[in-house]
Amino acid sequence: MRRGKVVFERGMRRWQRQLRMGLWRYLRQAPIGYILSVPVIYGMIVPLALLDVSVTLYQHICFRVYGIPRVCRAHYLVIDRHHLDVVK
């Protein structure tokens, strides 16, 4: 980690490039059950977004009422997938 960001070694990046697979190749090789589960998985985006909004509202309203310091989400939620190499 450098300045809070993930940095991969060259060997690890090379290994990742060797193992990566494009979307169309994956879809051709994937079992049908994997493909059929996609709507179920992505269908969870709406309930998770609603949960996130409700927890945020709860924290902003109730934590202020009870004098509890709010929690900074960035300290506990790290999304670093964009640091991975992109399939070209």
pLDDT per residue as tens digits for the range 16-73:
888 888 889 888 999 999 999 999 999 999 999 999 999 999 999 999 999 999 888 8
Distance CA 15, CA 49 (A): 34
Whole-prediction pTM value?
0.55
> How many whole angstroms from its chain centre is CA 72?
18
> For the chain, which residues make up each domain, given as ranges?
10-83
Distance CA 72, CA 63 (A): 13
**Closest C-alpha to 27, from 18, 19, 38:** 38
Write down the pLDDT at residue 87: 55
Write down the pLDDT at residue 64: 94
Residue 56: how many other CB atoms lie within 10 Å: 12
